[in-house]
Every structure is written in C-alpha cells, then in structure tokens.
Amino acid sequence: MQPERHLVKPGDRCYPAQLLDLEEEPRIFLLGDPEVLLTPMISIVGARRATPYGLAVAEMAARISAECGLTVVSGGARGCDRAASRAALDAGGRTVIVSGPGADRIYPAESTDVFHEAPLRGGAIVSLEDWGVEVRRYQFPRRNRIIAALSRCTFVAEASLRSGTMSTAETAMELGRTLYAVPGSIFSPTSSGTNRLISEGARIVSDERDLEQAISSDYGVLRFIPEEVRGPEGALVSALLASPLRPQELAERMNEDVLQILRALSEFEVLGMVEKLPDGRYTPTKEAFLAHNRGGA
C-alpha cells in the first residue's frame, strides 16, 4: 500500500495554524495522512553524531510523548532525529518527519525505516520542496524552521553550540515556543548547546517525571504507560552515568583495584551495558541510560 500524496496550502482545512507564525506561509508537500497536522505535536531534535546518552534521551522523550498522545516531529536525520521517530513508532505513536528534499525522497539512507513507516502508521513525511527534488544544502535551514514552527514545544536532546539543532532551538524561541533541554556533562561538546539553552531560560528536563509533568502542563494531557519495566544496574555503570571515565579513574572513584574494574568493564561490555570510546574512556550504552532512567522514574 502506497501512502497518498497531498499538497497542503494556507486556507486548507488541514493546514497547521502554527505555520502562520512564519513570515512566509509555506505550502507543504505531504506524503501520508494530512489529518496528523491537526494533532498536538512536539518537536524532538538533537545531534546527528549523537552519543549513547543523546540517543537515549531522544528515545526517552519520544516514548513519553507518544504515551501522552503527542505526535513526534523530527527532521529524520541520523542520530537523535531518527532515534526519536523510531521510538515514537515503537511506542505505538505517530511521527511527522520534516524532510529537506522532496517528501518522496529518503535522506539519509540510515533513516529508511522511519521514512517508510511514518506515513503508513498515521503520520507523514512533509517537505517544502516539490516531488522528486533531490537533496541540496540550502534545504536544511528552511526545514529546521518548519520543525520549530509546527510544535508548541521543542525538546532538545543533545546539541553542540554551532549546529542545525541550535538553529532549530533559536527559531523556536523566536516564535515564542516553549523549549525543553536536557543537561549534559560540561566536558561534552555535544552537551554544550543544551547547557547553554538551559542557562538562557529553556526548561530543564532532568528525568522522565520532569518531562511527563511538563507535557501535562503545556498540553493538558496525561500519560498512558502500558507496563513499566525496571532494570537492574551495577554501581560501576552508575558511576559512568555522569561522565565517561577511564578504568584508573573508575578505580579511584569506586575505591577498587583497577584489575577488578577492568574485568567488570569487560563483562559489562559483553552484556552491552558499556562501550569503550576511542580515547580509552568507557561510557554507558544507550540501553544502560534507558534502564537507569526507567529505574528512577
């Protein structure tokens, strides 16, 4: 079954009123169900070269948003964008992907699964470009403005200071949208943008409950949780949650022998709970971050 193609223009019943806030009211090429543009939406954006922490944050935000009945808007890029759309679909929710090239073109290839599934599961692919238009660099700043405009709130999972994610966040603020941001390590370049947004007034989201309460307040909805899953975690993984560390640093922090730490790290690596970074530090995997967050919810 092929999703339907639509051209949604200002004045059409399904044209989202939020886009009227832009200086120019764009027409939207849409693949999927145009009715999704009338649903409450939240934009979830983040780094393309995301860390496991950023991916876990984007997935958490999308899952909670879907459980609250919100449609997740993303740019479909690799990293946090794809993670958000994937998590929304996996939670039984809808996603709207705002594409740079034509809505019938898939970019990037790593996001093929969500581009295929979004319009078939109650969501849509939307674009400012006509059908068949291939990817061009100029498309992405324009796309970012649509991502920011579509939603009442924009959630920033992870961002460096100079990035497309930050331009989306800045547009959201210019348009008077509510901005959520998740703090990260002060030593992580990919958290420098989110930390800056928080310092400038973005609403800080420190855990699942924070986000659930923010959504409830801003959208007037309640969260439906099918079944809460809580997973065990070791003290070693907990020690890595704040910031990646080298084995010697872990040993000193935990007052353990470094050889025991190395053995434990090897076991956790096999279990998929930690991974080694190119600089020799260890960090929890995306799964470990999610397990920790659910356990503390």
Per CATH, 5-219 and 235-295 having the same topology is answered no
Asked if 146 and 29 count as a contact pair (C-beta separation under 8 A), the reply is no
Q: Which two tokens stand for residue 12?
A: 């059409």
pLDDT at 256: 82
pLDDT at 222: 76
Domain residue limits, the chain:
5-219, 235-295
Could you tell me which of 180, 186, 174 has the C-alpha nearest to residue 198?
180
pLDDT at 225: 56
CATH number listed for the domain at residues 5-219: 3.40.50.450
Give the CB-side neighbour count of residue 167, counting CA atoms within 13 A.
11
Model-level pTM?
0.77
**CATH (one of 3.40.640.10, 1.20.120.850, 3.40.190.10, 1.10.10.10) for 235-295:** 1.10.10.10
pLDDT at 297: 45
- Give me the residues of the chain with pLDDT under 50, please: 227-233, 296-297
What does the pLDDT look like over 12-43, one tens digit per residue? 999 999 999 998 899 999 999 999 999 999 99
